[in-house]
């Protein structure tokens, strides 16, 4: 049982300045979870050539899959493609299929397919296109790096188009347990339980309601038996501390049972 590992690189000065709120992280996280792929890291960087090159190299070496968003549009500060090409030591070329798609897209629109828009057909040499059914300008995959638009609607559409490109990992099983005991009281016991298993994680998430507080404990693993056994141990721990625990839901591959 394995899960491919993934990282996301969000690119854009507008994200770091607060002018634009990122919506793509959550979209990607849910998309990957449903396919048994573990999103392990997200980085946000500005529109700097050297920064993008360094981040792409580091993430590409550390994870099975990398996804970027932002910086592949027609404006002067859209430098992601040039930086990604540098990271892979290849040239940027005018991709004939990308150019054809954009020519067809702009025909009859009254908009000029000018030099700025033609820039969106420039792709690192050897890359495979990721089609864009919304605005035609494609993303692409080079090595294990998938380069996509930052506009949320286009980012989501590109994800749907590239599904066949991605591996399918094992579903991760989860059990959520609700209790009125605070996470500080549970902490040491949860750590002991987690350490008895390989590849199992236990997360605790405090919640607050008027006049009441408590903790949601989430037990997760690729192994369903381990999840069930560890969940029983968590319930026993809660009982031993004088509390009550409710096994709320089991999640496998993104589906609530």
Q: What is the mean pLDDT of the chain?
A: 94
Separation CA 60–CA 54 (nearest Å): 10
Q: Pairing relation of β-strands 38-45 and 5-11? A: parallel
In 3D space, the residue among 47, 106, 104, 111 whose CA is nearest the CA of residue 75 turns out to be 47
Q: Which of 43-47, 82-86, 130-134, 172-176 has the weakest average pLDDT?
A: 172-176
Residue with tokens 């089609």: 131
Helix (H, G, I), strand (E, B) or coil at 64: coil
- Say which range, 1-15, 134-148, 239-253, has the weakest mean pLDDT: 239-253
In this prediction, residues 92-112 reach a mean pLDDT of 96
pLDDT score for 251: 56
Which domains are delineated in the chain?
Answer: 5-165 (3.40.980.10), 173-256 (3.30.70.600)
Q: Which helix (H) or strand (E) holds 232?
A: helix 224-240
| Residue 20: DSSP 8-state | S
Q: Supply 39's token pair.
A: 């999103």
108 confidence band (pLDDT: 50, 70, 90): confident
Report pLDDT for 257.
Answer: 34
What secondary structure letter does DSSP report for 142? E
What the block records as the tokens of 219 is 């037990």
Q: How far apart are CA 203 and CA 224, in angstroms?
A: 17
Q: What is the pLDDT of residues 189-236, one digit of tens each?
A: 999 999 999 999 999 999 998 989 999 999 999 999 999 999 999 999
What does the pLDDT read at residue 252? 54
pLDDT at 256 over 80: no
Place of tokens 């890359």: 127
Higher pLDDT: 230 or 251? It is 230
CA 235 to centroid of chain Cα atoms: 32
Nearest to 150 by CA among 6, 46, 36: 46
| Sheet of strand 65-69: strand arrangement | 38-45, 5-11, 65-69, 145-148, 139-142, 128-130
- Using DSSP bridges, classify how beta strands 173-179 and 245-252 pair: parallel, antiparallel or unpaired: antiparallel
In this predicted structure, what is the pLDDT of residue 243? Answer: 96
> Can you give the length of the chain in residues?
257
Prediction pTM value: 0.86
Confidence of residue 249 (pLDDT cuts 50, 70, 90): low
Task: Tell me what the mean pLDDT of segment 86-115 comes to.
Answer: 96
Alpha helices, DSSP H, located in 34-151: 49-62, 80-87, 96-106, 115-118
Q: Return the structure tokens found at 119.
A: 């820039």
Beta strands in 46-188 (DSSP E): 65-69, 92-94, 122-124, 128-130, 139-142, 145-148, 173-179
Q: Is the dihedral of CA 49, 97, 64, 253 positive or negative?
A: positive
For the chain, give the percent of residues with pLDDT over 70: 96
- Is the pLDDT at 254 greater than 70, yes or no? no
Give, rounded to a whole angstrom, the gap between the first and last alpha carbons of the chain.
21
């Amino acid at each position: 049982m394995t899960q491919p590992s993934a990282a996301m690189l969000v690119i854009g000065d507008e994200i770091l300045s607060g002018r634009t709120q990122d919506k793509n992280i959550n979209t990607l996280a849910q998309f990957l979870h449903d396919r048994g792929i573990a999103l392990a890291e997200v980085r946000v960087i500005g529109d700097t050539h050297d920064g993008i090159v360094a981040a792409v190299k580091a993430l590409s070496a550390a994870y099975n899959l990398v996804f970027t968003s932002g910086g592949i549009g027609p404006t002067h500060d859209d430098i992601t493609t040039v930086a990604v090409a540098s990271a892979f030591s290849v040239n940027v070329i005018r991709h004939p299929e990308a150019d054809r798609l954009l020519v067809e897209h702009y025909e009859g629109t009254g908009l000029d397919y000018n030099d700025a828009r033609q820039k969106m057909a420039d792709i690192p040499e050897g890359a495979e296109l990721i089609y864009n059914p919304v605005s035609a300008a494609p993303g692409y995959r080079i090595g294990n790096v998938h380069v996509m638009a930052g506009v949320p609607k286009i980012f989501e559409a590109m994800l749907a188009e590239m599904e066949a490109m991605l591996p399918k990992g094992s579903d991760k099983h989860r059990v959520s347990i609700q209790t009125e005991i605070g996470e500080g009281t549970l902490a040491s016991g949860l750590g002991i339980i987690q350490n008895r298993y390989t590849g199992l994680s236990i997360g605790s998430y405090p919640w607050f309601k008027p006049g009441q507080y408590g903790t949601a404990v989430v037990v997760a693993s690729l192994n369903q038996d381990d999840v069930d056994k560890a969940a029983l141990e968590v319930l026993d721990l809660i009982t031993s501390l004088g509390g009550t625990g409710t096994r709320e839901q089991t999640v496998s591959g993104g589906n609530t049972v």
